[in-house]
Amino acid sequence: LLRCQDKQLRIEHYGAFNPPIYTLLDGRPAPDPTASVVLRGERVKGGALALLEDTQLIETLAHFPRERIPERVVHAKAAGAWGEFECTKDLTDITTANIFSEVGKKTKVLMRISTTAGEKGFPDTVRDIRGWAMKFYTDEGNYDIVGNDLPVFFIRDPIKFPSLNRSHKRHPQTNVPDSTMYWDFHNNNQEGVHCLMQLFGQRGIPASLRNISGFGVHTFKLGKPEDGTFKYIKIHFKPDAGHVNLKKEDAIRLAGEEPDYHVKDLYNAIDKGDYPKWTMFLQIMSPKEAENYRWNIFDVTKIWPQKDYPLIPVGKLTLNKNPENFFQDIEQAAFSPSTLIPGIGPTADSMLQARMFSYPDAARYRVGPNFHQLPCNRPKYVYSPYNRDGPMRFDGNYGSDPDYVRSSFKTLKLGPGDVAHDEWVGKVGAYTSGVDEDDWVQARDFWKILKDRGDDELFIGNLTSHVSKALPNVQKETVKMFAKVDKEIGERMEKALDELNNAPDHSKAPYGVQEALGGGY
């Protein structure tokens, strides 16, 4: 399990095949892609002057530095694949969302699974949240689920998102990941404690991407736009192969030996026909129940315990095709929580609302304003003539169709509206979200789960090896935060940190600088 079986990916792609005629970019057949056109002096072997007339050399050199598009500011490193979603439960009684319209209905899917903090070349086996981005190409437009492999998140006010991520990335001076700023952020934004408990538990470093869960994390709505009825839902995907995780020591070794371990594993599994599968489940709650529920269902730091809302299986996801070309199919793919279909709606969660702005905004910058045209992003059917022109338009650009609304010369058939939004009432204001007693309850429940499973020692070890690389006063504050979850965690952390801090080989380097992978993310 710990070693990729065949390191050579798709060797047959490199074999001999019917040779194409080589051309320059504008199609002119050319004699030699390895030779520049030069003016050679008679006596100087090899010495020569390059010429501006050498179109091949100029386009080769000019295109190269333009090969890169900006990498995603978060979730840059990823694996991706094509697949299929099959509905196993008819949900027409509660929603018009066409992916759930009949048992057996199949919908094509694109999937991108990422780490969060590291850059595009970062090792896979680090302690980090895995991003779970899916695009369903449905009969009524694309539907994206842009979730994570953990059910809760670190913050609940979107304005903190850039800060959260910078604290998990590289220090502005030293340019290395840094435990001090990581824990300083969390010490002062303690609503994330439940998510931290999960991240430093077993699930923080999966054995493979085939062994992770996917969660929608936010509460969404399933409903019927025509009559305004809806239910609240939470989305879960569970791996048929079960949850398998890596030991810290193996993860650290693999980060050096096989930095692309997870990417290779997913590719090789699909290539061999060992298709990864997940079951999709929903938790479903009525609006009435939501009003009086124990938890605020719009708070992404909270789950809905399954004893209150059991998991209902609704579909199967299978990944069955590798990308033909990673850049074209996966790097240029743009996922967004705003990409919804009739029958699935957002809710009054400010994090979700902010995300609905942020992702298409990022795609316009990262891929370009016409990113919707690319095959990986293009819906099955689209007619949106009031968004025209722009860079690299190649889809016909709606020909001579009117580019202004309410033209007398072309009428339109209109689609259904959104799922109703009747919970959107209240006072406008900038509310600083404090942390109260409620924020510790689910973290405490999770500590009990860790103890029942016998994972408590491992959790303390994972946590303290990371915290021990922070400045001493930051360490103290982190211990205080976890002691609020349970006194015992605080005491055990203190003991473990004493040992780590006094160990002769403790690789703290200068305080504040975390070794590249020791604590991992």
Where along the sequence are the contacts to ligand HEM (CB under 6 A)? 72-75, 78, 112, 114, 131-133, 146-148, 153, 158, 161, 217, 300, 334-335, 351, 354-355, 358-359, 362-363, 366
The DSSP output letter for 187 is: H
- DSSP bridge pairs for 178: none
Q: Which helix (H) or strand (E) holds 483?
A: helix 472-485
DSSP string for 58-74: HHHHHHGGGS--PPPSS
Nearer to ligand HEM, 72 or 171 (CB): 72
Q: Is 359 annotated as a binding residue?
A: yes
Q: Tell me which of 98, 142, 148, 211 is the catalytic residue.
A: 148
Q: In whole angstroms, how close is the CB of 59 to ligand HEM at the nearest point? A: 28
Quote the least distance from Cβ 346 to ligand HEM, whole Å: 13
Least gap, CB of 286 to ligand HEM (angstroms): 23
CB count within 10 Å of CB 74 equals 19
As a whole number of angstroms, the distance between CA 426 and CA 352 comes to 18
Query: Which of 98, 114 has the CB closer to ligand HEM?
Result: 114
| Residue 417 C-beta: closest distance to ligand HEM, Å | 26
Reference 300, options 147, 159, 156, 197; nearest CA is 156
User: 26 by DSSP, 3-state: which?
Assistant: coil
Q: What are phi and psi of 372, to 5 degrees?
A: -65, -20
Task: Please write down the HEC assignment for all residues of 149-177.
Answer: CCCCCCCCCHHHHHHHHHHHCECCCCCCE
Q: Is residue 289 exposed (0-12), middle (13-18) or buried (19+ Cβ within 10 Å)?
A: middle
Shortest Å distance, C-beta 397 to ligand HEM: 24
**Cα 369 from Cα 202, distance rounded (Å):** 40
DSSP state at residue 201: S
Residues 6+ apart with CB under 8 A from 59: 24, 25
Nearer to ligand HEM, 364 or 484 (CB): 364
Structure tokens, 159: 């304005």
Best CA proximity match to 113, nearest among 85, 82, 142, 75: 75
Q: State in angstroms the smallest separation of the CB of 474 from ligand HEM.
A: 24
Task: For residue 266, give the H/E element and its range.
Answer: helix 261-271
- CB-nearer residue toward ligand HEM: 36 or 358: 358
Q: What is the identity of the amino acid at 285?
A: M
Query: Is 148 part of the annotated catalytic residue set?
Result: yes
- Nearest CB to ligand HEM, comparing residues 168 and 469: 168
Nearest Cα to Cα of residue 361 among 334, 332, 382: 334
Decide whether 192 or 519 has the Cβ nearer to ligand HEM: 192
CB of 129 to ligand HEM, least distance (A): 8
**Three-class SS of residue 6?**
coil
Active-site residue flag, 75: yes
Q: Which is catalytic among the residues 75, 194, 262, 466?
A: 75
Nearest residue to 128 (alpha-carbon basis) of 106, 149, 97, 144: 149
Strands (DSSP E) contained in 71-122 are: 78-87, 106-115
Q: Which is nearer to ligand HEM, 69 or 412 (CB)?
A: 69
Burial class (CB in 10 A: 0-12, 13-18, 19+), 410: exposed
Q: Which residues sit in the known binding site for heme?
A: 359
Residue ranges of the binding site: 359
Active site residues: 75, 148
